Structure 1
Amino acid sequence: MNFFPPDPEMPDAEDEASGPTQPPWWAPPEDELPALLAATEIIATTAHIAVALIGVGVYREGVEFRLERRLRRNGLTNKEWNEWTSTFMENWSPASSPADRMRFGLVLGDGERVFADYTFAGGTDPHVEPAGHTLARRGGAGGGGSGVFAAQDSLWLWPAPPEGPIELVMQWPEFGIDERRIFLDGSAIRALASQARPLWD
């Protein structure tokens, strides 16, 4: 009698290839090339922090808002710099309050408000298709050195927004950034959706 149980049977390649796909409200499609809206705007700045919109990727069924944030040392001591970079990279600490975290939201052209956190924005079960729009925040690469740190984020809005202006709202109380807003042309974004292209036939 063997001590170790037998290994489970591995699914064959055909079964793996036909496995479940990522729901479209989670993230931009992986097989599509977006049309790009050349929209760049500073959302917020302080003596140490800058947050900016650096572009918008428009897919057939959703929109990705691309963001960049930077932290500059600007006279901070070594101890302060280490604490600030940890907070900037959103490493949890006992001193942090959830109410002080960085948050994003949108107001769509029809007045609907959607909010983004790292948790699923559409409800309690991320596998159940939501009834309205959702906004999923996705973190990207980040890092830096002794003088500047940078990080990238994206916000995935699904499905495509209605006609009218889009208001992007953010706050980061932990760094002294209260509610800041910029406005985008939702109609121009919708017009670009038809220019998104599949990567493969």
Structure 2
Amino acid sequence: MSFFDDLPEAPAGLREPQLSRPAWSGPPSDELPGMVPSGGFVLRGPNAVVALKAVEVFSTGCILDLVWSVRRSEESDSGWLEVMERGFERPGLPGILIGVALPDGRKAFAGDPSMVEGSLDIPGPFLVPREGGGSSADDEQAEGSAKYWLWPRPAEGDLQIVAKWDDAGLPEGSLIVPAEPLARAREEVRTYWSE
């Protein structure tokens, strides 16, 4: 006889409750986003760029798809090795500060210290790094990509993506994502399942 023989069986058809993921942590898992495909340069210098490839718009927020690239100029082999190592030292954008100015005047920053556990009862906005992306490098160029979840979805109006990359000598710059394509993308959001 086992200790567990007297354990009652679960009623048929009963499912364990599933933990729901907070909306600030990422996009809904059952939506096809609307797209703002035409991006542009957030920062652009003689040997380094940060660009927005696209914005994926969901019912609750947006994913910003960013890429960065730096090309070799006068660096020695050891100097270039340092540039490449900085590009791989952490996931995402190496030493690049990223932020978003929302139409209502609020701001969100990647790596915002208020995102520490225990303080997530504040209303946001948040700019949360997403899984994925990566980096690659060779003797002439280092490049990578990163995605950020912007929550909550911004109100109607222009969205301003702001960046600064001190290591590459690029001062603060920005790119405006116009209100019109964002509004069209909001209308294109579709759920997977019919209600």
TM bucket by the smaller chain?
Answer: 0.7 to 0.9
**Pairwise CA RMSD:** 2.6
Gaps (5+ residues) in structure 1?
Answer: 1-11, 93-99
Note if contact 1:161-1:190 (Cα within 8 Å) is conserved in structure 2: no
Distance 1:143 1:39 in 2: 24
Aligned match for 1:184, one of 177, 180, 185: 177
State yes or no: 1:166 paired with 2:159. yes
Gaps (5+ residues) in structure 2?
Answer: 1-9
How many residue pairs match? The answer is: 178
Note if contact 2:96-2:164 (Cα within 8 Å) is conserved in structure 1: yes
Note if contact 1:58-1:192 (Cα within 8 Å) is conserved in structure 2: yes
Alpha carbons of 1:79 and 1:135: their partners in 2 closer, same or farther (altered >3 Å)? same
State yes or no: 1:26 paired with 2:35. no
Aligned match for 2:142, one of 145, 149, 169: 149
TM-score normalised by length of structure 1 = 0.76
Distance 1:163 1:33 in 2: 20
Aligned to 1:134: 126
Aligned match for 2:168, one of 152, 172, 175: 175
Note if contact 2:43-2:172 (Cα within 8 Å) is conserved in structure 1: no
Instruction: Describe how 1:1-201 pairs up with structure 2 within 5 A.
Output: 15=16, 18-91=17-90, 101-117=95-111, 122=115, 124-125=117-118, 128-138=120-130, 140-186=133-179, 188-200=181-193
Note if contact 2:50-2:69 (Cα within 8 Å) is conserved in structure 1: yes
Shift of 1:38: 2.2
Distance 2:116 2:110 in 1: 12
Note if contact 2:98-2:162 (Cα within 8 Å) is conserved in structure 1: yes
Which secondary structure does the structure 1 equivalent of 2:63 belong to? strand
TM-score normalised by length of structure 2 = 0.78
* Bigger CA radius of gyration: 2
What is the percentage of aligned positions where both structures have the same residue? 25
User: Stretches of 4+ moved more than 4 A in 1?
Assistant: 119-124
